[in-house]
Chains A and B, each alone.
Chain A
Amino acid sequence: MRLYNCLLLAPLLAAVSSFSADFHIMPETITLRHQNDYQQLLTVEMDEGRAVDDLTRDVTYIVADPGVARVDEHGVAHPVAPGETRIEARVGDRTVSARVVVESLDPDRLWSFANDVQPALTKIGCNAGACHGAAAGKNGFKLSLRGYDHQHDYNVLTRQAKGRRVLIAEPDASLMLQKPSGGVPHGGGRLLRRDSLEYKIIREWIAQQAPAPSENDPELTAIEVFPKAIRRNVDAQQQLIVTASFSDGVSKDVTRWCKFGTTNDGVAVIADDGLATIKRPGGAALTVWYAGKVTFASVEVPFESEVSDAVFAQAERFNYIDDKVLDRLKALRIAPSKLCTDAEFVRRAYLDSTGVLPSERQAVAFLMDGAPDKRARLIDSLLGGDEYVDYWSYHWSDLMLASSTNPSLGSREALLAYYRFIRESVKANIGWDEFTRRVLTAQGSTLENGAANYFVLHKETTDLVETTSKAFMGLSITCARCHNHPMEKWTQDDYYGMANLLARVRLKNGDRSGETFVYSGDSGDILHPVYGKPMKPKPLDARPMPMNAPDRRAYLAEWLTSKENPYFARAIINRVWKNYMGVGLVEEVDDLRQTNPPTNEALFAALEEEFVANGYDVKQLMRDIMNSAAYQRSSEPRLGNESDQRNYSRYFPRRLPAEVILDGYSEVTRAPTKFSGYPDGWRALQLPDTNVASSFLTVFGRPERKMTCSCERNAEPTLSQALNISNGDTLNEKLRRDGNVIDRFLDSGDSLEQYVFDLYMAALTRTPSQEEEKGVLDACNGEEGWSALDRDERRRRLEDVTWAVLSGKEFLFNH
């Protein structure tokens, strides 16, 4: 009987546990100060911090003291009279409550231009980029883009057009209301209903003598979205609400005035009123913009697969990375693939960390090693080698734009000094913070302190500040050069404050050819184009420094590399992560906008914590990544993870970088590439410069190093690449070159089988299957038989065999 009960209860318990969610009301505290204030309430089911059900339609609200507040049929709380009470939400027999404070309802409260009228204008669309917010305005009427410049917009509205835009004596006749509501012809059409809240606010503001924006206006300090995380199934809907907090302590419901967006409209979409609809399994973020502040709510939609919890519990965990990866996979119900084989691992690890193929000898030594820690030891040895230094010096040279195609980079000596600085930094594995400080505070001769060339490359302060933001923080702030960033929090003031930190870098010619001296001047500023005067030097979101304090660059470097800077560590982590894992936690890899959140925030945070704790040690970060099970998983998909492209359920195959393919060709064919001006045998990854002609590298997507942008490197296969390999003179020439691998074989007297074996080991780090070997031997023998062929014909056949292996997917991809 007891047993029977247990059996019966088991599924019930399971069902109950999936309902272990909490019942929440949002927001939990509401302040209403004005008769027109209101607050939409949300009641949601929460589980592990994520909204899993929207109960707003099923809830009953009861106000403890109806003399203080009331809740309407849409679940919106309104003030009644000053006092304090609680609103109780009830679903079935469960209840939860929110605290409501109604302050003295001031009947004479004035509408604020900055905080009430501007959001209304933005909502109507008056100041949109396509309308009066355009750089040139529209029809002689120009507002700041999305209403960031209150004083300017107020002046334009009240003083231009002979004062007809705002008529205090007759508010409804004001052009500001007549135009958008269709009272008089309007190029932009009819956008405003007379019975709308927007009309009412503008009308009442005018009637109140159109008060100007003032220093005393409460300042918007933050916005908050509810719920912050959503976990729902396909077709579910979830209302978002957004509250804004002001410097006077008030917070109010601004949902109506927000602009919403989605980072992945295949997964979730959101309507203008904040109602989100789930479309498909996966992850996304719903972005929110209000008056220059941004935030987002994350969305996770599990796949409808039958992966049991045991799969995640039993999956290999080698370090902290795996806990976070598996948490995410479990939440989305995506099964991880098994670990890769040793042969797969050795090729993968060599290519990802050093850009070279393991030699046959190196591969065999690893495969024969019986020690359980051999993968960890291989990783240590790869990260300690010279090829590691070549590969990562090249990589960071992309970031630092080391290229003599840049006309500012005076001479080859200067370029080499710049490269040498980067290379020595990689070799010594100095912390990324120290590297960054050395670049940004560099001074003296560009030939002696190579880092100083960073300032020679960027002669304009605007270029300098934009590259610095992109390279070290993954932030593109270019928009803010001309106006406040329309979808991010960066303002034009922020831009010119930041730019001014770099405005006093001075250059003068040195005595030697190509030598420039970089030093900090003690005067000169970049002017804000609107104010016509300089902003105080100020890192993007930190305190300004005094205008005439010395060491502006040191202040910038200190802020940039401080633990409080949320972008610095993450920007470099994301770049390194993408190199090894194939896809960044944030994509594009250098787009760390606040409204472009990572696919796995917990993982990103853990990597950041560890990286900072290790003193910004890039090599240790790589060691952690390479030692994780996530990195060591097979690239082969299993049932339940075929469609995963962002969550690291397996190793994602990727085409090798241009330089790695070219060096691989040289290695396998024993026919090095000759780079003009460099010694024989120099590999592509050892080049300090991209100004070295190579049609192969260009076609395969070598970055030009013209601007710091991940978009410069391209790894997608194209027809031009296939044409180059098939008909071009790169691979074909190596296959034909005297003394190459084929010549050596023909001279050696080895068997054909030996050639095939060596070729597979060198190119693919594995032995050929019987079927593959037979295919190759058949092609070599033809109808005539190998022994009947002359040397030239043998050579041609071996060239074709080698071409076939080197043009194959297995060679061209890391997997």
Chain B
Amino acid sequence: MLRIDAEKTVHFCDGMSRRDLLHAGALSLLGFGLPQLAAAKEAGAVKNDTDRNCIFLFLVGGPSQLDTFDMKPDAPAEIRGPYKPIKTNVPGIQISEIFPNVAKVADKFAIVRTLHHSAAGVHDTGHQMMQTGRLFLNGLEQPHAGCVYGYLKGTRNNLPAHVMIPKPIGPTGGNMPHGQNAGFLGKQYDPFIVNADPSDPNFEVPDLLPPDYISAVRLDRRRSLRAAVEQSMAALETSENAQLLDSAFENAYSLASSPEAREAFDLSKEPDALRDRYGRNKFGQSCLLARRLIERGVRFSTVNMFETVFNEITWDIHGSAPFSPIECYQNLVGPMFDKGYSALLTDLEERGMLENTMVVAMGEFGRTPKINPAGGRDHWPQCWSILFAGGGVQGGQIVGATDEIASEPVDRPVTPAEVVASVYHSLGVDLEHVLTAPGGRIFPVVDFGVKPIMELFS
């Protein structure tokens, strides 16, 4: 029998039998689901003395650096744009007037102003690289950092290791974006997708828990029957998708049999005043849910602020339909971020969770320094700003400097891979740890030689 709780090192051979797997699955009652097997196999990949968490706030659409965190008030009008800088609670750091509440918590976060990438200037490339550290080339799908962390570290309890709120980013021009799932690690390490709007008054994660008429006895009976009613078919034993289905049912059972799961997703348990502070909108309540889940054992939460850039008001301010106008930064998108982000940092700190939880707020690229004829700004992967807080990050600082029109880094340029490396660094993941993909191909968690942004942690 497999004993995960044995004191001596446990070795899991690859020739594990189906019976062993099922048995290991049975341990999920104790909080040991299938994902634990990988965690045990990959022991040593994550430092034991850290037990940190991470929240990604993905600002889908790509906020303009010039209108948010890299203001250039002395530049010509067609560069500096319509917004003015304001002071923050850190002397010498100014941000856009669209973020009055964020300005009050500037001591808690660091601004990195010199993100840049050289892949095609479309949304998808940035989405991939910021979440996986790599660009998707024909071949294997690279895993999201949260899935890598869940894979290496396993779940903390009955809750999934990585939760995506509320939904994945949909197509932003082309096929479904890459880099939002576990990629080559396998679908059992995919994030759990909430699939419902947390700001909905009747918010409930669909089908998370069994209906009342299915008692615990029946739940157990169904589970054991499911294994008993069909003989083993070699064709399905060798089908990866069929095996995935079984592990999905094990995970579903593990969630359904847990009262903690019901409680963790129940936002109505949060005080009204706090819910107001986050903002009663999809982004604000998603931030709150992310905090609530981390507090209850989820290791990684990814909040996607928007699911598309078409026919919706987002950070994607081309200035003409079906995209967004620049004014939305002041009257819709900016205020949502302002409330949600500042409330999240304050709330985490008040609960003593900030030191233990890294929060990264980022878009997929910046925007053209020059205002376009439609009064908006277009895609600009050459330079943009992102925010790091918590998880050991020294707040109240700026990393990197850009030229006079925020068109390119002039000091300390930072790549998306370095962002992912910094997240891993905070989480205690060994950057040289190597993941094995199907077919025996190996990938270090970040490309060899990619270093964290150490200035953040000083």
Contact = CB atoms under 8 A, between A and B. Distances in A.
Contact of A637 (B175, B209, B235, B249): B235
B245 A717 contact: yes
Contacts of A130: 118-120
Given A800-B225, A809-B242, A653 B248 contact: no
Contacts of B239: 652-653, 813
B74 interface: no
Q: Which of B173, B214, B235 has the most CB of A within 10 A?
A: B235
B92 interface: no
B229 A716 contact: no
B252 interface: yes
Interface in A710-751: 711, 715-729, 732, 736
A628 to B, nearest CB: 19
A527 interface: no
Interface residues of B, number: 62
Interface residues of A, number: 71
B230 interface: yes
Interface string B366-393: 0010000000001010100000000000
Nearest to A801: B225
A776 B175 contact: no
A84 interface: no
Contact of B139 (A266, A810, A813): A266
Contacts of A634: 235
A719 B214 CA distance: 19
Contacts of A810: 230, 233, 236
Contacts of A653: 235-236, 239, 241-242
Contacts of A724: 206-207
A790 to B, nearest CB: 16
B245 A812 contact: yes
A722 B248 contact: yes
A725 B382 CA distance: 46
Interface in B216-255: 218, 221-222, 224-226, 228-231, 233-236, 238-239, 241-242, 244-246, 248-249, 251-253, 255
Interface in B16-33: none
B249 A726 contact: yes
B195 interface: yes
Interface stretch (A383-391, A670-678, A767-775): A767-775
A804 B222 CA distance: 6
Contact of A187 (B218, B236, B408): B408
A598 B214 CA distance: 49
Nearest to A796: B218
A637 B238 contact: yes
B230 A805 contact: yes
B236 A723 contact: no
B252 A726 contact: yes
B208 interface: yes
Contacts of A719: 160, 190, 192, 248, 251-252
A655 B246 CA distance: 13
B211 A804 contact: no
B210 interface: yes
A636 interface: yes
B176 interface: yes
A728 B218 contact: no
Interface string A111-122: 000000000000
Nearest to A282: B439
A728 B210 CA distance: 7
A266 B230 contact: no
A808 B175 contact: no
Contacts of B439: 266, 280
B378 A636 contact: no
A466 to B, nearest CB: 11
Given A726-B256, A772-B230, A718 B187 contact: yes
A129 interface: yes
A720 B226 contact: no
Contact of B241 (A655, A707, A769): A655
Interface in B408-456: 408, 439, 441
Nearest to A642: B238
B121 interface: yes
Contacts of B207: 720, 723-724, 726-728
B248 A718 contact: yes
A807 interface: yes
Given A136-B378, A264-B139, A634-B235, A728 B245 contact: no
Contacts of A187: 408
Interface in A788-815: 796-797, 800-801, 803-805, 807-810, 812-813, 815
A731 B208 CA distance: 15
A729 B207 CA distance: 8
A720 B213 contact: no
A716 B187 contact: yes
Contacts of A727: 207-211, 214, 252, 256
Contact of B228 (A280, A650, A776, A809): A776
A293 interface: no
Contacts of B119: 129-130
Nearest to B243: A809
Interface in B172-189: 173-176, 187
A622 interface: no
Nearest to A732: B211
A478 B235 CA distance: 40
A691 interface: no
Contacts of A775: 225, 228-229
A209 interface: no
B389 to A, nearest CB: 30
A23 B244 CA distance: 49
B178 to A, nearest CB: 11
B233 A636 contact: yes
B36 to A, nearest CB: 16
B138 interface: yes
Contacts of B229: 768, 772, 775-776, 801, 804-805, 808
Q: Which of B214, B225, B231 has the most CB of A within 10 A?
A: B225
Contact of B246 (A136, A264, A478, A809): A809
8 contacts: A129-B121, A637-B234, A711-B171, A723-B252, A775-B225, A801-B225, A805-B229, A813-B239
Interface of B: 118-121, 137-140, 160, 171, 173-176, 187, 190, 192-193, 195, 206-211, 213-214, 218, 221-222, 224-226, 228-231, 233-236, 238-239, 241-242, 244-246, 248-249, 251-253, 255-256, 368, 378, 380, 382, 408, 439, 441
Given A650-B235, A727-B209, 19 more contacts: A135-B121, A187-B408, A263-B138, A264-B138, A478-B174, A637-B235, A654-B241, A695-B206, A715-B241, A716-B241, A720-B195, A723-B208, A727-B207, A769-B231, A779-B228, A804-B222, A804-B229, A812-B245, A813-B239
Interface of A: 129-131, 134-136, 138, 187, 261-266, 280, 478, 634-637, 642, 650-655, 695, 699, 707, 709, 711, 715-729, 732, 736, 764, 768-769, 771-772, 775-776, 779, 796-797, 800-801, 803-805, 807-810, 812-813, 815
